[in-house]
Amino acid sequence: MGLSQAALAAIENGFSALCHGRVIMPAPLGMYIQESQGEVHVKTAYIAGNEGFAIKVATGFYANSASGLVNSSGLILYLDARTGFVKAVFADNGYLTDLRTALAGAIAAKYCARERISTVGIVGTGVQARWQLEALTLVRKFQRVLVFGRRKTAADAYMREMQGRVGADFKVVDSVADLMRASDLVVTTTAAREPVIEVKYLRAGLHITAMGADGPGKQELDPSVLESADVIVCDAYEQCQRLGELQHIAIGKERVIEIPELTSGRKKARTADDQISVCDLTGTGVQDSAMAEFSYRALTATET
């Protein structure tokens, strides 16, 4: 189970179902435990016609790292949509979330970026910096990867690892400015709470996917970056207003295209090579259900 064209199609289909009114997606359940610096989120969505649906528990306990533990964990329950019985427990510690998040990044690039690009810029050196780059190979060819991390050693480690996974020339750059100057497609994957991308970095033809901000206070783009973009895309408008880049700037829904509108063919993002496009991703329950359905099918098919 990993990234594949089939998994990409599964997530695209989930998004499209949302646009066709074939998805029930209640507001997530959230609980905050102050004394542990912990948060728990439960997401679910039902895609009509699917065999099952996911209930995903995701936790972030931010004192963990001080004890050498990962902050994030969780699991996905996969329930039969006809009987409500639990068909599977994916004790995946966030693995399927990593995949569906990366695949949403690939979908953003597929529908927003120029057809022909040569250089990808990755800001951040964590788990998603890895997955996002790998997922991009499903939708675009590129020759060069620039990476920027606040810690040079982490960027070096990223480069060493990813050179074996993605066929391109890698280079660690010293600043976001250097990265922006030479990149056609940029993915920001940080936990930043202040803008990393300034408006002065924008160039004609650029596409940026900002997937880091997924909670109140988080921010990777200066609001003027969104203001200056020709095309603004996001996964789910209301959610991005609460949790994503759109929380930092008032932009009416009429100016924003949702990914489901792109995958379903209702709208187009970029209409010219010199436009600047930006996509804000926060992650949705429909991706979890689509990913769980796809994984369950793939795993049970392997068994026979």
Q: Catalytic amino acids? A: 56
The distance of closest approach from Cβ of residue 71 to a copy of itself in the complex, given in angstroms and rounded to an integer, is 8
Locate 193 and state its tokens. 């709470």
Closest CA to 28 of 295, 296, 283: 283
3-state SS, residue 32: strand
* Residue whose entry in the numeric block shows the structure tokens 């004609």: 204
Query: How many of the chain's residues bind a copy of itself (CB under 8 A)?
Result: 40
Q: Measured between alpha carbons, how far is residue 300 from residues 55, 88, 120, 244 in Å?
A: 19, 10, 36, 35
Per CB under 8 A, contacts with a copy of itself among 11-70 are 24, 26-33, 35-36, 38, 40, 42, 44, 46, 48, 53, 55, 57, 59-61, 63-64, 69
Nearer to a copy of itself, 86 or 177 (CB): 86
Do 171 and 147 meet the contact criterion of CB atoms below 8 Å apart? yes
Nearer to a copy of itself, 36 or 143 (CB): 36
Residue from the set 6, 91, 204, 299 that interacts with a copy of itself by CB under 8 A? 91
Position 264 contacts a copy of itself (CB under 8 A): no
The distance of closest approach from Cβ of residue 270 to a copy of itself in the complex, given in angstroms and rounded to an integer, is 35
Residue from the set 1, 4, 9, 81 that interacts with a copy of itself by CB under 8 A? 81
Residue from the set 76, 77, 138, 291 that interacts with a copy of itself by CB under 8 A? 77
Nearer to a copy of itself, 3 or 54 (CB): 54
Do 220 and 233 meet the contact criterion of CB atoms below 8 Å apart? no
CA–CA distance, 94 with 76 (Å, rounded to integer): 8
Neighbour tally for 214: CB within 10 Å: 18
The distance of closest approach from Cβ of residue 11 to a copy of itself in the complex, given in angstroms and rounded to an integer, is 20
DSSP labels for 127-143? HHHHHHHHHHTTT---S
Please report, to the nearest 10 degrees, the dihedral formed by the alpha carbons of residues 106, 107, 112, 117 taken in order: 30
Closest CA to 281 of 105, 160, 106, 115: 105
Do 51 and 80 meet the contact criterion of CB atoms below 8 Å apart? yes
Do 130 and 120 meet the contact criterion of CB atoms below 8 Å apart? no
Residue from the set 84, 164, 216, 252 that interacts with a copy of itself by CB under 8 A? 84
Nearer to a copy of itself, 55 or 120 (CB): 55
The distance of closest approach from Cβ of residue 94 to a copy of itself in the complex, given in angstroms and rounded to an integer, is 11
Nearer to a copy of itself, 66 or 250 (CB): 66
The distance of closest approach from Cβ of residue 73 to a copy of itself in the complex, given in angstroms and rounded to an integer, is 5
Position 86 contacts a copy of itself (CB under 8 A): yes
Position 127 contacts a copy of itself (CB under 8 A): no
The distance of closest approach from Cβ of residue 5 to a copy of itself in the complex, given in angstroms and rounded to an integer, is 30
CA–CA distance, 169 with 146 (Å, rounded to integer): 8
DSSP labels for 227-245? HH-SEEEES-HHHHHHHSG
Residues near a copy of itself, by CB under 8 A: 24, 26-33, 35-36, 38, 40, 42, 44, 46, 48, 53, 55, 57, 59-61, 63-64, 69, 72-75, 77, 79, 81-86, 89, 91
